[in-house]
A and B are shown apart, each in its own frame.
Chain A
């Protein structure tokens, strides 16, 4: 197992009032993303625990691209990864953001 952590400055606070969202399943080629609104509005963090070791550079690129596109200010993402490909990771991160930016019922 390998753990990675990336912290970025975000342009703006992610919209919505939900405090938490979860998406995905830990299975071969899949991952789960837990998003929590626990950070200051201009910060975001992505913590990764992965079974596939040695892909730090790819994770770093995928996370940087995601922060650039979504500006998820205030969110902490925790990932349990079962060896997902970068496109699946990007999809899950986008889904997590979509879920948490809804307003709480």
Chain B
């Protein structure tokens, strides 16, 4: 029964609501409902059965799109390339085909130059069953992303899925022109369990959910400047913020890189002695920092904008 109760599967698009949860939606629902109705055209769709060549070796089931959907469509009338990870298939993890589809999309964007790319992250990192291919894919994607940005392409990451944005996904996110995150979105490289396993429970207690959320969650990433914008968990608000970031994201060049380096250096200097995210929020002058985790999205956005204006000179 639980399978039915938790079901939020694809419905015909007309029935899909702008107020629907991004977190609950599948990758295909996110793509179709984010873009203008009927405008999505998929590249290497599931009917082509371009599946992972590795999973079969491990007796693991394949997915026809390998957990990565790529294509083009229109966002508020303007053309856009789009990539979306399905966080429920193998935790949205990068494998050879999954990664190659994103690399190809970014190379196409570099070639076209004028069309922005949206990446709907939902990933735990690299797929362990195809680790080498997955790691290589991460490197190829980062190169392709930077080359696209050098050609003038805006690459905007949207993070608010079940798997968050971890491992190599966190590295790719760091290369984007701009990022938007919801409360449910988490951005990091090593996940909570990985840190605890490697450094001990004293360093990071992965069972302490409040600690996990205030260290890796969307609100902290916004306050620290890792994400440029915070958004509530609806399709409509993700669409609005995507449009805003495509327009406002910085270009790419030595000035932007220097500003980003300065921003990160300043951050390290200001907060390196902080033991907890709460200390950082206090140091940033967030009034009533303890109230941040429970704060509704609209209130938090107002607080965050007051404390930390998004910096459009850096990334």
A: residues with CB less than 8 A from B are 1, 20, 22-27, 29-30, 32, 34, 36, 49-51, 78, 80-82, 84-85, 87-88, 91-92, 95, 98-99, 102, 105
Contacts and interface: CB of A to CB of B under 8 A. Distances in A.
Given A1-B56, A23-B10, A36-B47, A91 B88 contact: no
A74 B69 CA distance: 26
Contacts of A84: 3
B10 A99 contact: yes
Contacts, number: 67
Question: Which 9 residue pairs spanning A and B have beta carbons closest together?
Answer: A26-B63, A27-B88, A105-B38, A25-B88, A88-B3, A51-B61, A22-B46, A80-B61, A26-B61
Contact of B61 (A34, A82, A95): A82
A87 B3 contact: yes
Interface of B: 3-4, 7, 9-10, 12, 26, 28, 38, 45-47, 49, 56, 59-65, 86, 88-89
A43 B273 CA distance: 70
Contacts of B88: 25, 27, 30
B61 A87 contact: no
A20 B61 contact: no
B62 A26 contact: yes
Given A1-B56, A92-B9, A98-B12, 8 more contacts: A20-B45, A25-B86, A27-B89, A29-B3, A51-B59, A78-B49, A84-B3, A88-B4
Contacts of B86: 25
Q: Which of B60, B64, B65 has the most CB of A within 10 A?
A: B64
Contacts of B28: 22
Contact of A51 (B3, B49, B60, B65): B60
Contact of B9 (A24, A78, A81): A24
29 contacts: A1-B56, A1-B59, A1-B60, A20-B45, A22-B47, A23-B9, A23-B10, A24-B9, A24-B10, A25-B26, A25-B63, A25-B88, A30-B3, A30-B88, A32-B46, A32-B63, A32-B64, A34-B46, A49-B62, A50-B61, A80-B62, A80-B64, A82-B61, A85-B3, A87-B4, A88-B3, A91-B7, A92-B9, A105-B38
Contacts of A51: 59-61
B91 to A, nearest CB: 9
Contacts of B46: 20, 22, 32, 34
B47 A80 contact: no
User: Which of B3, B9, B63 has the most A CB atoms < 10 Å from its CB?
Assistant: B63
Contacts of B63: 25-26, 32, 80
A91 B9 CA distance: 10
Contacts of A88: 3-4
B30 to A, nearest CB: 12
Contacts of A20: 45-47
Contact of B64 (A22, A29, A98): A22
Nearest to B1: A87
A103 to B, nearest CB: 11
Nearest to A28: B88
Contacts of A50: 61
A84 B7 CA distance: 13
A22 B86 CA distance: 14
B10 to A, nearest CB: 5
Residue among B38, B61, B65 with the most chain A CB within 10 A? Answer: B61
Contacts of A22: 28, 46-47, 64-65
A65 B287 CA distance: 62
